[in-house]
């Protein structure tokens, strides 16, 4: 009997936790990127929560699409903003290296450019590994507005950790 009740409770929870694609919306912080869904029954996030989160991005975007790893930061902002955490309580940093470096350049066919502009407008710090830039022949002039260079991704992550940032394990 107890097992049957647990099974029914599990099915009820699964049904209430499932969200269809149309249930995902963007905003309230980044309007055109980072779709999220409301999760019924999720533990609340206190509005006074302070987030200092770093994201490590090495995977390049699929051809003609915005980089999904970069969009994770937009989802983080939108998800917590929708949960009641003010944007002023969220400090995000993205450290990019490897093949994803191409997604930070100002080429005409860069589908990630609008996403990067929106992230920077929302106060997200985006840094390119200087070692990757040197290896791939990328200069500061090649980067989208607001993107900065660091000596290395390892250096930037160490500095962010010393400032109290946590690393998002996505």
Residue 11 confidence (pLDDT): 41
Domain chopping of the chain, boundaries: 2-167
- Write the burial class of residue 64 (CB in 10 Å: 0-12 exposed, 13-18 middle, 19+ buried): exposed
**Residue 122 pLDDT > 60, yes or no?**
yes
Predicted TM-score (pTM) of the model is 0.86
**Residue 53 pLDDT > 80, yes or no?**
yes
2-167 is classed in which CATH architecture?
Answer: 3-Layer(aba) Sandwich (3.40)
Going by pLDDT thresholds of 50, 70 and 90, the confidence category of residue 2 is: very low
Mean pLDDT throughout 139-168? 97
Residue 109 confidence (pLDDT): 87
């Amino acid at each position: 009997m107890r097992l049957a009740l647990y099974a029914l409770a599990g099915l009820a929870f699964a049904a209430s936790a499932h969200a269809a694609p149309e249930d995902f919306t963007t905003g309230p912080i980044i309007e055109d990127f980072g779709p999220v869904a409301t999760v019924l029954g999720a533990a609340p996030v206190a509005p006074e929560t302070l987030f200092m989160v770093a994201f490590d991005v090495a995977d390049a975007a699929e051809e003609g699409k915005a980089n999904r790893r970069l969009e994770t930061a937009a989802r983080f902002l939108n998800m917590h903003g929708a949960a009641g955490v003010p944007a002023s309580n969220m400090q995000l940093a993205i450290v990019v290296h490897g093949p994803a470096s191409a997604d930070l350049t100002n080429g005409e066919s860069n589908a990630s450019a609008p996403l990067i502009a929106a992230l920077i407008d929302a106060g997200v710090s985006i840094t390119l590994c200087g070692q990757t830039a040197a290896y791939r022949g990328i200069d500061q002039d090649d980067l989208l507005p607001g993107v900065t260079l660091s000596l290395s991704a390892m250096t930037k992550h160490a500095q962010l950790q010393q400032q109290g940032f946590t690393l998002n394990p996505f």
